[in-house]
Amino acid sequence: MKKIVLFAIVALGCMLAGVSCAEDDLNPNSVIVEVTSEPTPLDAWLYDNFVTPYNIEFAYRYQDMESDMTYNLTPASYEKAVQMAKLVRHLCLQSYDEITGSEEFIRNYFPKMIYLVGSPAYNNNGTVILGTAEGGTKITLYAVNRMDPTDVDLLNEWYFKTIHHEFAHILHQTKPYSTDFDQITGTSETSRYVGNACWDVYATESAALKAGFISRYAATSADEDFVELISIYVTNTAATWSSKLSTAGTTGRSMIEEKFEIAYKYMQNEWNIDLDQLREVVLRRQAEVPSMDLDTL
Ligand SMILES: [Zn+2]
C-alpha cells in the first residue's frame, strides 16, 4: 500500500534583513570554538563538481546554525549525502546546463547552498516539510535518510520537484512574471488560501485541479501557483500532465492551461528556456538514474 504523505513546501523569507548588530570590543579569546572535521572523499568530489563549476556549497554535515530549531532534526548519513549529491547534479544542475549550453545559468542564479537534513520536519498539523528556500540563497532538503534512489516517482515528489519549485521562485523574484497571471484565478479571499488552509479547502488533488490549481499547494498564492505549474510540468510525462488536465474538467482545465501558457512564455521570453525541452531533458535524465553508480565517487 502506498503511503500517502501530506507535504508542504514552505518558502521562508529571511526575516533577519535590516537587523544590525552593535559592534563592541570583542574578547580576543572567543568562546566559540570552530568545529573542524576531517575532509572526506565527498568533500573533494564536491569541490570539483559543485564549487568549481557552480560556486555552490553542498552542506551535508549537520550544522545547528543552518537548521530550523523549531523541529527535531537529525543529520543526513554520509552514504545518502553521496547519493543525493550525484542526483542533484545529474537531475537538476546538469539539466539546465544541457539546455542553456553552459554552466553559467546555474552559477548565476541557483542558490549558493544546498543543505541536507536526515529527518523529515513535521508540523503540528501533520504535514511534513520537504524543502525550504530562504531568500534565494539556500535550499534545504529534508528526509534525506529516507531517500530510495530506485523510486524515481518518490525522488521527484520529495526532492527534485521541490528543487525546480524553489529555483523557479528565484527566477520570478529576479524577473517578475505578468500580473495577468493572477487575474485568471482572481485575487478574492475565496480564490486563495493562505498558509495551511489550502490543505483543508482542497482535501484531494482532484478537488484542487477542478478549481484550476495544478496542485493543492498551488492554491496558496500566485507565486506558489506559478512555480508549481513549472516544477510539475518539467518533472512529469506528457501523459501524466494530460491526465491531470482531464481530471480538472472543463473549467479547471481552461484555467490551468491559461496560467501555464503565461508561465511557458515567461520562461521562453525572459530566460530563453523552452519548458518542453527542459522536460524532455529532465525525463531522459530521470530514466538514466537506475543505471547510474550513485555510490562511487
Ligand atoms: Zn514555494
Give the CATH number for residue 209: 3.40.390.70
Query: 184: number of CA atoms within 13 Å, CB side?
Result: 25
Q: How many angstroms does the Cα of residue 224 sit away from the middle of ligand 1?
A: 5
Ligand 1 centroid to Cα of residue 21, in Å, is 30
Tell me: do 182 and 170 sit in the same domain: no
Report if residue 25 sits inside a domain. no
Q: How far is the CA of 139 from the centre of ligand 1 (A)?
A: 11
Residues 46 and 146 in one domain: yes
**Is 17 contained in some domain?**
no
The residue from 126, 141, 174 where one domain ends is: 174
Residues 218 and 194 in one domain: yes
Answer whether residue 130 is part of any domain: yes
In a domain, 221, yes or no: yes
Shared domain check, 213 and 169:
no
Distance 141 CA to ligand 1 centre (A): 13
The residue type found at 213 is F
266, three cell numbers: 515567461
Which cell numbers in the block locate residue 92?
Answer: 537538476
Residue whose C-alpha is closest to residue 185's, from 101, 259, 95:
259
Under 8 Å between Cβ of 85 and 42? yes
Residues 60 and 154 occupy one common structural domain: yes
The C-alpha cell of 56 is what?
Answer: 555552490
Same domain, 147 and 276: no
pLDDT of residue 289: 94
- CA of 183 relative to ligand 1 center, distance in Å: 19
- Is the same domain home to 111 and 170? yes
74 and 87 share a domain? yes
Q: What is the span of the domain harbouring residue 147?
A: 1-10+40-174
| pLDDT tens for each residue of 208-221 | 999 999 999 898 88
Q: How far apart are CA 47 and CA 52, in angstroms?
A: 6
Q: For residue 98, how many other CB atoms are within 10 A of its CB? A: 16
Q: How far is the CA of 241 from the centre of ligand 1 (A)?
A: 20
CA 37–ligand 1 middle distance (angstroms)? 34
Going from the C-alpha of 289 to that of each of 54, 132, 248, the distances in angstroms are: 22, 24, 31
At 39 the pLDDT is 93
In the predicted structure, residue 198 carries a pLDDT above the cut 70: no
Residues 64-122 pLDDT 10s: 777 776 777 889 999 999 999 999 999 999 999 999 999 999 999 999 999 999 998 88
How many separate domains does the chain show? 2
Q: Are residues 126 and 234 in the same domain?
A: no
Last residue of a domain, one of 147, 174, 201: 174
Q: Are the C-beta atoms of 110 and 56 separated by less than 8 Å?
A: yes
What is the 9 CA–ligand 1 centroid distance (Å)? 6
C-alpha 258/C-alpha 5 separation (Å) is 29
Q: How far is the CA of 193 from the centre of ligand 1 (A)?
A: 14
Distance 26 CA to ligand 1 centre (A): 40
pLDDT the model gives residue 133: 76
> Based on the domain organization, do 271 and 170 belong to the same domain?
no
Q: Does residue 190 fall inside a structural domain?
A: yes
Q: State the distance from the centre of ligand 1 to the C-alpha of 62, rounded, in angstroms.
A: 24
Look at residue 203 in the predicted model and tell me its pLDDT: 83
Whether residues 98 and 187 share a domain: the answer is no
Ligand 1 centroid – CA 222 distance (Å): 10
